[in-house]
């Protein structure tokens, strides 16, 4: 089933009404959801130098972006679209589930401070559930699929090996469905999608679905967590 365009905003509007009735301050009182503690990758990219790029898709890009904006070593994280053409890289079109795009996040990182394998460990552990096929939480459709868009042969090697390692270890109750394939292009999303978690922390969709991911990052990956997010609005390294 494909969600209608702007479905997340409809969900937010409905939830706002409920919160107004109950007068609950969601963000401070919400406990973090359970995350899956997983082993680090046995195979990692040891040769990378200079600022590197990872592109990941794991449901709504608001939460994935928010997690990596709070990750040490990440110099920028931009919400956008991958898997389709430039002509259809538009939120309203992508939301139909017919464009081939997945809501994705382009992550620029310093391999001296964080490795590609560590980024994947965070991605699989706290940023999303890699066993959900064409959905994530309340969002359904191929645009919310779990995917790794690799930018080098070494990234593909690390990603494939890590998925095989995690499946063999049985750390999830179901097999990982994440698709690994080469990045053809990444298109930045509209400005109003950028830094969404930071700008709207008490919006019900963010509070229920995404703030717990950042809390889990802080709890499980304390050494990789930074309190101050790296924001697109403050960062020019978007290409």
Instruction: Give the residue among 129, 132, 144, 140 at the shortest CA–CA distance from 83.
Output: 144
Rg (CA), the chain: 17
23: left (phi over 0), alpha (psi -120 to 50) or beta: left
Of 11, 55, 57, 60, which residue is the catalytic one?
Answer: 60
E strand or H helix at 78: strand 74-82
Cα–Cα nearest to 88, from 187, 191, 229: 187
Neighbours of 36 (CB within 10 A): 16
Catalytic residue at 233? no
Which active-site residues does the annotation give?
60
């Amino acid at each position: 089933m494909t969600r209608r365009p702007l479905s997340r905003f409809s969900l937010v509007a409905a939830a706002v009404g409920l919160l107004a009735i109950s007068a609950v301050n969601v963000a401070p009182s919400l406990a973090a959801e359970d995350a899956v503690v997983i082993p680090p990758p046995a195979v990692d990219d040891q040769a990378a130098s200079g600022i590197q790029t990872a592109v990941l898709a794991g449901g709504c890009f608001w939460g994935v972006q928010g997690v990596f904006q709070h990750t040490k070593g990440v110099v920028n994280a931009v919400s956008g679209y991958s898997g389709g053409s430039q002509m259809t890289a538009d939120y309203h079109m992508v939301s139909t589930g017919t464009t081939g795009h997945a809501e994705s996040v382009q992550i620029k990182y310093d391999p001296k401070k964080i490795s590609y394998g560590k980024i994947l460990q965070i991605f699989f552990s706290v940023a999303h559930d890699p066993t959900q096929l064409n959905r994530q939480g309340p969002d359904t459709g191929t645009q919310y699929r779990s995917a790794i868009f690799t930018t080098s042969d070494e990234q593909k090697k690390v990603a494939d090996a890590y998925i095989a390692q995690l499946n063999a270890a049985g750390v999830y109750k179901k097999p990982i469905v994440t698709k690994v394939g080469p990045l053809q292009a990444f298109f930045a999303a509209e400005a109003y999608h950028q830094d969404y978690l930071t700008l709207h922390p008490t919006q019900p969709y963010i509070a229920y679905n995404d703030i717990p991911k950042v809390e889990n990052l802080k709890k499980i990956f304390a050494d990789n967590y930074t309190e101050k997010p790296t924001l697109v609005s403050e960062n020019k390294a978007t290409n």
